[in-house]
Amino acid sequence: MSLTNHHRIHVLWHRYWQRNEGAAAVEFALVAGLLVFMVLAILELGLIMLISSGLEGSAHQAARYGMTGQGSAISSEERENGILEAAAKSLPDFVDPDKLAVDIISYNEFREIGKAEPYEDRNGSGEYDPGDTYTDLNGNGQWDEESGLAGAGDPGSITVYELHYPWSVMTPLFHNFFTDGVLDLSARIVVKNEQYDQ
Ligand SMILES: [Ca+2]
Ligand SMILES: [Ca+2]
């Protein structure tokens, strides 16, 4: 009788012990998984911060190249290539410089940035229509919703440099928060071109 009881207790204890071992294994897996996830997230955040500060530097380099009139004597395409090259130098080594996009728009005045060319709404439609008179700020012979012109501009122009770098998010879960898993990193700088041709 006592032996059977003994045996029973032993079996119960053994089962209990096994069950706890299983729970510990599950707990360990959860904690380890969470730890790996956190380490990945922190590492990636570090990379993102590196690229972001790199982009700020890139914007300065790009603007510096453009505002001093470097390459302004050659074709606008070559000038833009020069600006892109100058920008790419400030990026960390692990990024792909071919993915860097630099949008450059120049204006005559600071206050024109992002504005439409002014027009007189003659027909009262609340929008520009052919026949409404307008001020051709960028001198391209037509009314524009964006009064700037693409490119690094002329001496004295106000130029906006906007840099974008698409970062493919690697950390699982976080990846899903972004369209196609891509985080758009950007930097922007506005400068006044020097009077470089004088
Ligand atoms: Ca109108
Ligand atoms: Ca125009």
Domain edges within the chain: 2-192
Distance 133 CA to ligand 1 centre (A): 9
Distance 129 CA to ligand 1 centre (A): 4
Distance 125 CA to ligand 1 centre (A): 4
Distance 136 CA to ligand 2 centre (A): 4
Ranges assigned E (strand) in the chain: 101-107, 119-120, 133-134, 149-150, 158-168, 182-192
Angle between helices 76-88 and 2-67 (to 10 degrees): 140
Q: Which ligand is nearest to the CA of 127?
A: 1
Mean pLDDT throughout 149-166?
A: 96
Higher pLDDT, 174 or 72: 174
In this structure, the number of other CB atoms found within 10 A of the CB of residue 2 comes to 6
Per cent of the chain over pLDDT 70 is 98
Q: Which ligand is nearest to the CA of 136?
A: 2
Please give the model's pTM, rounded to 2 decimal places. 0.80
pLDDT band at 9 (very low <50, low <70, confident <90, very high): confident
Distance 149 CA to ligand 2 centre (A): 9
Higher pLDDT, 170 or 4: 170
Would you state the pLDDT for residue 29?
87
Distance 150 CA to ligand 1 centre (A): 26
